Amino acid sequence: DPIGPPNLSNCNPSGSECCLPSSTPSTFIALNSSTPLRTRRALQTVLQDAPYLARLNAAYATLRRLERDAPNDPRGLEQQRKLHCAFCSELVYGSEYNMHGNWFFLPWHRMLLYYHERILAWATGDASFALPFWNWDSDAAAQKALPSSYADTTSALYSARRRAAADIQSMIQSEITGDQLFMNFGDVPESDSVIGTAGGNGNLETYGHNQVHNAVGPNGSPDMGNLAWAGYDPVFYAHHANVDRMWSVWRQLPGRSDPTSADFRDSRFVFYDENATARIIAVSFVLDHATNLRYVYENVPNTWTTRAE
Ligand code: C2O
């Protein structure tokens, strides 16, 4: 059956620090065709755009300031960390709400990014503001490296809790391209009569996603190496924008499709929007990101889509 939405006022802390400010989610996300279509650009593109980088920096400075001045505001950086922690690490709203290692991994993180991006847009006062993506899947060494804007110690994008030199290996295995099925590329359900497999990670989660986490933060340590803390590092959002982009690119390759099961499509989750209001959102809503979420990705070379097969 479909799951959700989780009840945010029913947190089971079990010693963790990941409960969210409680609220009664009552409003569904609404299609808003007046939202400008935004283009998420590659970091090496936006490095040429000083005004954009200044806005990105100012947005995270605002999220850090909120964390200090209004600790219960769900838009603050620490609360954004908790949101990810609650559903990806501590599972304080129930073990069924584990957004790793199963087919909710891609759509749930897409939702998380969408609302994070709306919050950054609110913080900059620019409704057309879009997240950047860190295209570590590129063959170019300069694009694999930790983006310099995030490594500037004076920037709100900086975290001291990273490896000195993030070493992003060539981790995009050719089998990702050969993955015709969502269950091999993305993740599979714990059990699903239609797809007929037991759960587990897809290749994108294992070979791209996990390796970048552990390359930036040593395995197990805050921030990026530990899922409880990862959402506290601004580079987390640029990393996940690339995971999300790769899903989008894969989806447009011949023969690829997303699961059609209602167990997948009708599952619902909750996020805080840019007005700090809790919103319910269903998986089916986010599968077409251009139409419903009003964002697209800048086109960059994707060598992994033509390798192998
Ligand atoms: Cu829920 Cu990269 O993590």
User: How confident is the prediction for the chain on average, in pLDDT?
Assistant: 86
Q: How far is the CA of 34 from the centre of ligand 1 (A)?
A: 30
**What is d(CA 136, CA 303) in angstroms, rounded to the nearest whole number?**
12
Of 19-23, 78-82, 141-145, 161-165, give the range with the top mean pLDDT. Answer: 78-82
Q: Is 210 in the pocket of ligand 1 (CB under 6 A)?
A: no
Q: Is 215 in the pocket of ligand 1 (CB under 6 A)?
A: no
Q: How many residues are given for the chain?
A: 309
pLDDT of residue 190: 45
pLDDT band at 113 (very low <50, low <70, confident <90, very high): very high
Single-letter residue type at 17 = E
Q: How far is the CA of 116 from the centre of ligand 1 (A)?
A: 14
pLDDT of residue 38: 96
Q: Is 295 exposed, middle or buried (0-12, 13-18, 19+ CB in 10 A)?
A: buried
As beta bridge partners, residue 295 has 38
What is the fold of 27-305? di-copper center containing domain from catechol oxidase (1.10.1280)
Helix (H) or strand (E) holding 93: none
Instruction: Respond yes or no on whether ipTM tops 0.90.
Output: yes
Q: Is 82 in the pocket of ligand 1 (CB under 6 A)?
A: no
**What is d(CA 43, CA 296) in angstroms, rounded to the nearest whole number?**
15
Residue with CA at minimum distance from ligand 1 atom 1: 88
Tell me the mean pLDDT in the region 159-172.
72
Sign of torsion, CA 218 222 223 229? positive
Q: Is 307 in the pocket of ligand 1 (CB under 6 A)?
A: no
Ligand 1, atom nearest to 109 Cα: 1
**What is d(CA 244, CA 135) in angstroms, rounded to the nearest whole number?**
11
Is-above-0.80 flag for pTM? yes
DSSP class of residue 117?
H
**What is d(CA 51, CA 243) in angstroms, rounded to the nearest whole number?**
25
pLDDT of residue 255: 80
Given a cut of 60, whether residue 195 has pLDDT beyond it is no
Which of these, 26, 29, 2, lies nearest to 97 by C-alpha position? 2
